Structure 1
Amino acid sequence: MKEQTDLWTYILQPQDEGLKYQEILYRRFHFSRRLLQKLKHSERVWVDGVFTFLTARGKAGETLAVQLQTPESNSFPGEDLPLEILFEDDYFLAVNKPAGRVVHPNPRYPTGTIGNAVIGYWLAKGESRPFRPIHRIDRNTSGVVVVAKNQFAHQQMFWQHNHQRIHKRYLGVVEGQVLEDQGTINAPIGHTPGSYLVRQISPDGAPAVTHYRVLKRYADATLLEFVLETGRTHQIRVHCQHLGHPLFGDDFYGGNIARFDRQALHAFIYEFNHPVTGELLTIRAPLPEDLRLLLRSLIAKS
């Protein structure tokens, strides 16, 4: 076997006896069909140190090894930009995105994004790979953004997302006092006619469910924790407007910008099971200074 330091390994169990290696990878470990096809066309799978075909059948006690990290080109240019790293291993990178920065380059924001910063960070370490964010948050929302460092990690998180194994929590400051200590907003979200960006509650929209819990009430505001069951564009923002308590600073959805100049929303927890170790990873992003100052001002006013 080629000398590798980045191998994923698994010792076949009695229940794997006689199964094709590709079926073991697909059914037990949720390797995507697309990734398996790539593995088939390259010498990246070994059994007990010897190259094997994925269509061969396994025996209990064998060590199956797969090279997951392969040389890949960058998706776009890297830049030397500030990057607050919350977590990193061979499979994932998690960063604390500041408000005002876009996650992925687009025609309107081709540079200065989290993607450019991450590519620049990797290049400085002598690494080259595409930018594969697991999820995105709005430009003016701060908090956790998780990036996959290879195709395996990315598709594993896609599987977890589809099976609701990923848990995300947000903090938000809304206008007025929310009277219920907790609740659920179940209201479908669709496009606002005439706008490609703004969303609205629509009977014909995509299902959207947001759970909320009151953390603290102020004289004219409430600090809420949000847990998403679905991940629609602008979901929390639209649902807060629907609740009658728009987020501070969210002028798209009824919020007043006089006291805060962006939507007061922060993605503070991202939790999932590591696809390789099985360990439960809880990644937390501290509150940014602007939200800390807002909360202090609300305390002073109460």
Structure 2
Amino acid sequence: MNTPPDLWEYRLQAEDSGQKYMAILRHKFHFSVKLLQHLKQGERVWVNGKFSYLTARGKEGDTLSIQLFSTEEANIQGEDLPLDILYEDEYMLAVNKPVGQVVHPNRRYPTNTLGNAVVGHWERKGESRLFRPIHRIDRNTSGVVVIAKNQFAHQQLAWQLERGHIHKRYHGFVEGVVEEDNGIIDLSIGFAPNSFIKRQIQADGMSARTLFRVLHRYTNVTFLEFILETGRTHQIRTHCEGFGHPLLGDDLYGGTQTLLSRHALHSSMYAFLHPATRLPMVIRAPFPKDLRLLLIKLRDLDTDNP
């Protein structure tokens, strides 16, 4: 039997001897129950080049091979749109999302989304895949978005995200001068009254923690780095308002648009373990044009007001 070329492989170690392959995949590599059930369909599991059942037991030195790359029918219409690719391999794609683009199509934005752009990119490469973003960022937040290219990669990255093993950093500009050099905003978040979009600080909301560090203080503006310990919707935007320093341009959360017409927030870094190799990955996204121009404006204002 000729095994397919696209395989995930693992060579069993001494501690794996006597264990079922299913147990090794489940407990050592965090394969989900759903993914293991999917692998039972057809001859997708081989040991030393021969078909095997997941319930068989392994021994040291066995080469366990898993076929992960089955053809999938795209769940989104592909479009020929610009796409700023930061990294891509057979498991994942990382892009620098522009300002004003929604991640996933919805009733209000059925086309011109990041999903349409990604699927169109894959179609031009002759690939048919589902669009599986690991996380989402707001329409007017720019920066890193990571997309899994198959069920295995999605499950592996989602597992890391759920357990806080993925580190995300944002950069933003807030109104006023933040006096503390660094700190933690630990304020619970819930829905604002009569709104399906806006959040607010509320004692009985979901716990949320944002770490911040001052990078530079301008005249009445502070440039901050944010690290999320939790991933609530609008977390940074809500915390900045509750902290008394709304993001520049964020009129939904108390910011003014004198210097910028959208909230000044950028997803700048995403660090995690590669879903297949388990080697550390760091994806960085440079600032878009509007934030680069904002930096120039702020420096000019400081020069005018020494």
TM-score normalised to the size of structure 1?
0.99
Q: CA deviation at 1:161?
A: 1.1
Please give the alpha-carbon distance, in whole angstroms, between the structure 2 residues aligned to 1:106 and 1:224.
32
Alignment of 1:1-302 (within 5 A): 1-302=1-302
Q: Residue 25 of structure 2: SS of its match in structure 1?
A: helix
Q: Which deviates more from structure 2 when the two are superposed, residues 44-53 or residues 10-19?
A: 10-19
Q: Deviations over 1:160-182 (max 9, x none)?
A: 01221100000000011100000
Please give the alpha-carbon distance, in whole angstroms, between the structure 2 residues aligned to 1:7 and 1:166.
25
Q: Deviations over 1:96-124 (max 9, x none)?
A: 00010000001110000000000000000
Please give the alpha-carbon distance, in whole angstroms, between the structure 2 residues aligned to 1:230 and 1:212.
13
Q: Residue 239 of structure 1: SS of its match in structure 2?
A: helix
Please give the alpha-carbon distance, in whole angstroms, between the structure 1 residues aligned to 2:4 and 2:37.
21
- Contact persistence 2:91–2:275 (CA under 8 A): no
Identity %: 61
Q: Residue 240 of structure 1: SS of its match in structure 2?
A: helix
Q: Residue 66 of structure 2: SS of its match in structure 1?
A: strand
Please give the alpha-carbon distance, in whole angstroms, between the structure 2 residues aligned to 1:121 and 1:280.
26
Please give the alpha-carbon distance, in whole angstroms, between the structure 2 residues aligned to 1:195 and 1:239.
17
Q: Deviations over 1:158-206 (max 9, x none)?
A: 1101221100000000011100000100001000111000000011111
Q: Deviations over 1:225-259 (max 9, x none)?
A: 00000000000000000111100000000000122
Please give the alpha-carbon distance, in whole angstroms, between the structure 1 residues aligned to 2:162 and 2:240.
25
Q: Deviations over 1:33-55 (max 9, x none)?
A: 00000101221000000001101
Task: Give the counterpart letter for 2:260 in structure 1.
Answer: F
How many pairs does the alignment contain?
302
Task: Give the counterpart letter for 1:103 in structure 2.
Answer: V
Q: Residue 53 of structure 2: SS of its match in structure 1?
A: coil
Q: Residue 200 of structure 1: SS of its match in structure 2?
A: strand
Gaps of 5+ in 1: none
Q: Residue 38 of structure 1: SS of its match in structure 2?
A: helix
Q: CA deviation at 1:222?
A: 0.5
Q: CA deviation at 1:80?
A: 0.1
Please give the alpha-carbon distance, in whole angstroms, between the structure 2 residues aligned to 1:258 and 1:221.
12
Please give the alpha-carbon distance, in whole angstroms, between the structure 2 residues aligned to 1:67 and 1:207.
40
Q: CA deviation at 1:4?
A: 2.0
Q: CA deviation at 1:5?
A: 2.0
Please give the alpha-carbon distance, in whole angstroms, between the structure 2 residues aligned to 1:124 and 1:275.
25
Please give the alpha-carbon distance, in whole angstroms, between the structure 2 residues aligned to 1:207 and 1:42.
44
Please give the alpha-carbon distance, in whole angstroms, between the structure 1 residues aligned to 2:290 and 2:195.
29
Q: Residue 214 of structure 1: SS of its match in structure 2?
A: strand
Please give the alpha-carbon distance, in whole angstroms, between the structure 2 residues aligned to 1:278 and 1:271.
12
Please give the alpha-carbon distance, in whole angstroms, between the structure 2 residues aligned to 1:162 and 1:276.
18
- Contact persistence 2:72–2:129 (CA under 8 A): yes
Task: Give the counterpart letter for 1:179 in structure 2.
Answer: E
Q: CA deviation at 1:273?
A: 0.8
